[in-house]
Homo-oligomer: A and B are copies of this chain.
Amino acid sequence: MANYAFGIDVGGTTVKLGLFTAEGELLDKWEIPTRTQDHGKNVLPDIAEAVRGKAKEKGFSFEDVKGVGIAVPGPVLDDGSCTVCVNLGWGHVEVSKDLSAMLDGVRVEVANDAGAAGFGEMWKGGGRGCSNVVMVTLGTGVGGGVVVNGQNVSGAHGSAAEIGHMQVSWDETDVCNCGKKGCLEQYTSANGIVRVARRALKTNRIPTCLKDDENLSAKLIFDAAKEGDEFAMGQVEEFGKVLGRALAAIATVVDPEVFVIGGGVSRAGHIVTDVVRKYYIPAAFQGCRDTGFKLAELGNDAGIYGAVKLVL
């Protein structure tokens, strides 16, 4: 009987690790630094060592481990390999095969990090009880997770749920990190919200507490909007319009039961789900207008929950 499982979320700075029971209860969580130098060749060995160390500390053997689920910041193929993870310095890495070999052949399942977060939120967070969920992570960029019939969708090239790079404008002049112009994340990520606001501030004539300086942040903009700052409120409406319409487009493809919105921007709270839903409804196909909008609940733990669910 395997009583334990590990859920691991690999970020560009730290690796989050969770030890779970086979029933999915979180027993322990901790972090190790992500050593990205030398094309990230130490990342998997460091993880293997951390997992071994924890098993030893708790006094159980690998026969007692049901599996290890791992979330990585890049596209993942069906064979558990990752085609590229820019933030880890990785090219093509056989994550599942290599990590399993380092851990006496224990079962290792791999998912994209945003996908894993969506999976985690479906399981234990904002999407609890739903089997069709779209997760939207509004952080530095915009990530996504698509869960259909309870299964995480990775796509033919591991690029499913790359909704941050859905093109939503055709007259944008700034270039997105992906090389295109007019991607969703250029308007609705934390950086995108600031970018749009800076641009508007240049010609703004509405009195506002916001200044185009280095302190300007998505948080400041949402805070000002909550205080009734008219310019900031206009910026929040713009954000809601772009994201609401994009989610309406997504609903015509997979028709989720609920959109779960997470990432740093979502910490502004219900103002986010309210404004997105306001613009979603008129743009959505009739049959999908009552789709739910929930805030993510697991915060930084969504990835380890989603990762461990892959092996439970």
Q: Which of A177-191 contact B (CB under 8 A)?
A: 178-180
Separation of A292 and B201 alpha carbons in the complex (Å) = 43
Separation of A282 and B144 alpha carbons in the complex (Å) = 21
Binds B, one of A19-27, A95-103, A152-160, A261-269: A152-160
Separation of A253 and B162 alpha carbons in the complex (Å) = 6
Given the interface pairs A149-B153, A286-B178, the reply to whether A254 lies near B160 with Cβ below 8 Å is yes
* In contact, A155 and B285 (Cβ under 8 angstroms): no
Given the interface pairs A165-B285, A249-B166, the reply to whether A132 lies near B151 with Cβ below 8 Å is no
* In contact, A283 and B132 (Cβ under 8 angstroms): no
Number of copies: 2
At the interface, yes or no: A255 with Cβ under 8 Å from chain B?
yes
Q: Which of A271-292 contact B (CB under 8 A)?
A: 282-283, 285-288, 290-291
Q: Which of A129-184 contact B (CB under 8 A)?
A: 130, 132, 144, 146, 148-149, 151, 153-167, 170, 178-180
Q: Chain B residue with minimal CB distance to A161? A: B253
| Contact among B166, B255, B285 with A252 in the assembled complex (CB-CB below 8 Å) | B166
* In contact, B149 and A132 (Cβ under 8 angstroms): no
* In contact, B155 and A132 (Cβ under 8 angstroms): yes
* In contact, B159 and A249 (Cβ under 8 angstroms): no
* In contact, A255 and B158 (Cβ under 8 angstroms): yes
Q: Chain B residue with minimal CB distance to A159? A: B287
At the interface, yes or no: A256 with Cβ under 8 Å from chain B?
yes
What 1/0 flags go to A23-39 for Cβ under 8 Å of B? Answer: 00000000000000000
| Contact among B156, B254, B257 with A153 in the assembled complex (CB-CB below 8 Å) | B254
In the complex, how many angstroms separate the beta carbon of A289 from the nearest chain B beta carbon?
9
Separation of A166 and B249 alpha carbons in the complex (Å) = 5
At the interface, yes or no: A17 with Cβ under 8 Å from chain B?
no
Separation of A288 and B155 alpha carbons in the complex (Å) = 9
* Given contact pairs A157-B288, A160-B255, A163-B252, a sample of 10 additional A-B residue pairs in the complex whose CB atoms are under 8 Å apart: A148-B153, A158-B287, A159-B251, A159-B285, A160-B254, A162-B287, A162-B288, A166-B252, A178-B285, A180-B282
